[in-house]
Amino acid sequence: MKVIIDSAIPFIKGVLEPFAEVVYSAGDSFTPELVADADALIIRTRTRCDRALLAGAKVKFIATATIGFDHIDCSYCAENGIKVATAAGCNARGVLQWVAAVLVELSKREKFTPSQRTLGIVGVGNVGKLVKHYAERWGFKVVCCDPPRQQRETLDFITLEELIPQVDILTLHTPLDSTTRGMINAESITSLRHGATIINASRGEVAQTEALLREDLTVAVDVWENEPNIDSRLLEKAIVTTPHIAGYSVQGKANATALAVRAVAKYLELPLQDWYPEGMQPTTPQDIDWQTLVDTIDTYCDLNSESAPLKNGGDFEALRNNYRLRKEYF
């Protein structure tokens, strides 16, 4: 059996080699010729898995070491008997702590306490529900929008149209699909308060760049339209400018790799279905009060220093691929 693996995925080298032929390749260098005789792929967002890559290939299993799957044509895979596994929830606490750092930065700039701000969360899945839990503990008034969950469950959520006029800070945590692409646009945020903030750590295409450029808005951006060819105007405007690394924590990456390895192991019937990177431990969740967060977050996620390389003209992909992973601490 043969497995092709994105060479930027950490902790994985040597794990599958005792059981399969393993080939490593840069994520943006997967070709039809490379994957033609592979049984499985382990990828990240930079590998587009669609007909152009997979037609005629032997591939029947794809594991993505990411929470998102908009880089995979799931309809094509389903039609052709290719199973897909994601790493849903793997980096939720890493993203939470990036958002927490943004909230602390905003509070310092605007000199507010959490009780003076309403936070709107769009997308209350693995990340959004953590943001909700901690933001409420810190004292923010929190309102939520998640239509798919609202349909499945009885929840105190509201529509996007109802949410936008109520909030001072809007944070986005949705997957990218046909219902969320461009959902934040000039028209949809017409009623957003003057001087409000939009935080995007979901997918760049969820929020249209032109909408984020509205003169009175403050924006904090980790994900961008047209990555890695990002808009220079948005780069100049945003107070936080990181290269799609909000979830790049040591524990998040370990979780993602473990989920991908376990998924492939289950499919190929390998004795690795409980595997976790040696020497690593998942984060032990704990509550943290607002003042402790303010006093400690820069030690773990200093957004001023993390924003500077991209602001100063650094290469998006190089910064992302060579990012020094943060440590989760709550």
Catalytic residue check, 244: yes
Residue with tokens 């790493």: 87
DSSP letter at 160 equals H
Which residues 6+ apart lie within 8 Å of 156 measured at CB? 144
Q: Which of the residues 44, 173, 203, 320 is marked catalytic?
A: 203
Of 215, 203, 148, the residue nearest 172 (C-alpha)? 203
Cis before 147 (ω within 30)? no
Taking each helix axis as running N to C, give the angle between helix 126-138 and helix 92-110, from 0 to 180 degrees, rounded to the nearest 10.
Answer: 40
Concerning whether 227 is annotated as a catalytic residue, the answer is yes
Q: Are 255 and 93 in contact (CB under 8 A)?
A: no
Of the listed 244, 262, 320, 326, which one is catalytic?
A: 244
DSSP assignment of 1-36 equals -EEEEETT-TT-TTTSTTTSEEEEE-GGG--HHHHT
DSSP 176: P
Adjacent-strand bridge partners of 141: 118
Helix (H), strand (E) counts: the chain? 13, 11
- Report yes or no: 139 and 113 within 8 Å, Cβ to Cβ: yes
Tokens 């997979």 label which residue? 54
Q: Is 203 a catalytic residue?
A: yes
Selecting among 71, 149, 227, 317, the annotated active-site residue is 227
C-alpha closest to that of 290 among 115, 37, 124, 145: 115
Cα–Cα–Cα angle for 62, 281, 21, rounded to 5 degrees: 35
Backbone phi and psi for residue 263, each to the nearest 5 degrees, phi listed first: -65, -45
- What amino acid positions are annotated as catalytic residues? 203, 227, 244
